[in-house]
Amino acid sequence: MNTKIAFLSLLAASVIAGTAFAGILDEPKMMAPFFTDKTMKTMKSDADMKKVWAKMSKKHQTAMMKECQDAAMSKPHAEFCAKLNALAGHA
């Protein structure tokens, strides 16, 4: 019985931790405007990305930039973060 409780506790903790690690760069709703297709494989042109960036709230801009500065968070989004840094004047 104790093994079952320990396993369920570990499972619950991993689910909660996994959710906590998801950030704004992992939210399709936030990322989709920067891409030309639903699969989010092809980024928009620099000019179009700049327009999307300008329309975004400062809160979301700050969150995206923070995640792009974090090596672990930005790794799967390296190309996107490189463009975003250039648009924001950090490149």
Q: Is the pLDDT of residue 67 over 70?
A: yes
Q: How many CA atoms lie within 13 A of 52 on its CB side?
A: 18
Tell me the average pLDDT of the chain.
82
Instruction: Provide the 3-class DSSP secondary structure of residue 43.
Output: strand
Confidence band, pLDDT 50/70/90 cuts, at residue 1: low
Percent of residues, the chain, with pLDDT higher than 70 = 75
pLDDT score, position 73: 87
- Cβ-proximal residues to 85 (8 Å cutoff; 6+ apart), any chain: 65, 68, 91
Q: Is the pLDDT of residue 15 over 50?
A: no
20 against 50, higher pLDDT? 50
Tokens 């699969």 map to which residue? 39
Tokens 């799967």 map to which residue? 76
Mean pLDDT of 14-19: 44
Q: Per the structure block, which two tokens stand in for 28? A: 């399709």
